[in-house]
A = this chain, B = another copy of it.
Amino acid sequence: MRMKTLYISALFAALAVCQTSAGEWRDVEPENLVIMDVSHGRVLIELAPQFAPGHAERFRALVRSKFYDGQSFYRVIDGFVAQGGIGEGDDKKSAGWPALKSEFDRGTGVNLDFSPLGSPDLFAAQVGHIDGFPAGRSPKEKRMWVLHCPGTLAMARDNEPDTGGTEFYIPIGHAPRRLDRNLTAFGRVLDGMQFLQKLNRGDPKVESGVIQDAEKRDPIIHVQMATDLLEADRPRVQVMDTMSKAFKDYKAQRRNPAPEFYKRPSHNLDICAFNAPIRIGKEITD
């Protein structure tokens, strides 16, 4: 009898996923699927070359060169971000990887399908989903970008824009939307956020959260691109087509939640609390 509280919301998410047809999902392309093994489990990330082609290409190249293997999450601030790579002050190690031109946003001229959330936003003129990624859009400026939601993959940098190139971070708390269009976001975690949440934290008041004791930094064990595995070994992951009727229905369900439980529904949605559903392996029923 107890605790149906969140039962309801979880149930509705499950329903939306069950009632779909195969055509309402897309397979994540193996060349965009990153498999990152950390101490606590496996994290699957989808790269977003449609938003940041230079960063997606660089990340693929870094993964293939085994750049991250054996490195660590050295700067982890609870409620904010987990940052991984070779670590601060170790620029020399990345000498072979010059800084990238930033890709904070992109012209809407590439004409990607945008599924508007239908709620206002505190930071962007419009928010919605593009290929499952939480996206902002400015019709006036004709720009679009990936939002800093929990699980977004982005590139750290120094003060000036074109100074990042190897060190990545992933928001692990309430969305730090103030970073939108100030840093390059180029992917999102599809599965395994729970394993990033288990990473050891630094003290945000000391050296901006860099974990001082290197032994306490959780390792990045091994990172691979799915496309480099034998087809039979690749994880199969699907993202709900965010232009589909299934996704539209899911949005409507969340906007009008079960009245048996929600006596005061809010109707507005918050983009970073509303992710495009995914399904993995055996959950795929086509």
Q: Which A residues are closer than 8 A to B by beta carbons?
A: 1-11, 13-14, 17, 75, 77-81, 83, 88-91, 104, 119-123, 149-151, 156-159, 161, 163-164, 167, 169, 172-183, 193-194, 197-198, 201, 204-205, 208-209, 254, 257, 260-266, 268, 270, 272-273, 275, 283
CB atoms of B14 and A205 under 8 A apart: yes
CB atoms of B208 and A11 under 8 A apart: yes
Nearest chain B residue, comparing its CB with the CB of A198: B198
CB atoms of A174 and B260 under 8 A apart: no
A156 and B266 in contact, given A10-B208, A174-B273 (Cβ under 8 angstroms): no
Of A161, A264, A265, which is in contact with the most chain B CB atoms at under 10 Å from its CB?
A264
Q: State the CA gap A121–B266 with chains docked (Å).
A: 12
Nearest chain B residue, comparing its CB with the CB of A183: B5
Cβ-closest 4 pairs across A and B:
A78-B194, A7-B208, A10-B208, A197-B197
12 new A-B contacts at CB < 8 Å, known A3-B83, A5-B169, A79-B275: A2-B157, A5-B183, A8-B159, A122-B122, A149-B174, A174-B174, A174-B175, A174-B272, A178-B254, A178-B265, A178-B266, A197-B198
Main secondary structure of the interface of A (DSSP, over half): loop
- Please pick, from B3, B11, B123, B182, the residue contacting A88 in the complex, using a CB distance under 8 A: B3
A262 and B89 in contact, given A2-B167, A6-B169 (Cβ under 8 angstroms): no
Of A8, A88, A205, which is in contact with the most chain B CB atoms at under 10 Å from its CB?
A205
CB atoms of B209 and A10 under 8 A apart: yes
Q: State the CA gap A159–B175 with chains docked (Å).
A: 30
Q: State the CA gap A161–B254 with chains docked (Å).
A: 20
Tell me the minimal C-beta distance from A153 to chain B in angstroms.
14
Q: State the CA gap A270–B180 with chains docked (Å).
A: 13
- Can you report 19 A-B residue pairs in the complex whose CB atoms are below 8 A from each other? A1-B89, A2-B157, A2-B164, A3-B83, A3-B158, A4-B158, A6-B77, A6-B156, A9-B176, A10-B205, A13-B204, A78-B193, A79-B193, A122-B122, A149-B174, A174-B270, A176-B273, A177-B266, A181-B264
CB atoms of B173 and A150 under 8 A apart: yes
Q: Which residues of B contact A257 (CB under 8 A)?
A: 178
CB atoms of B174 and A208 under 8 A apart: no
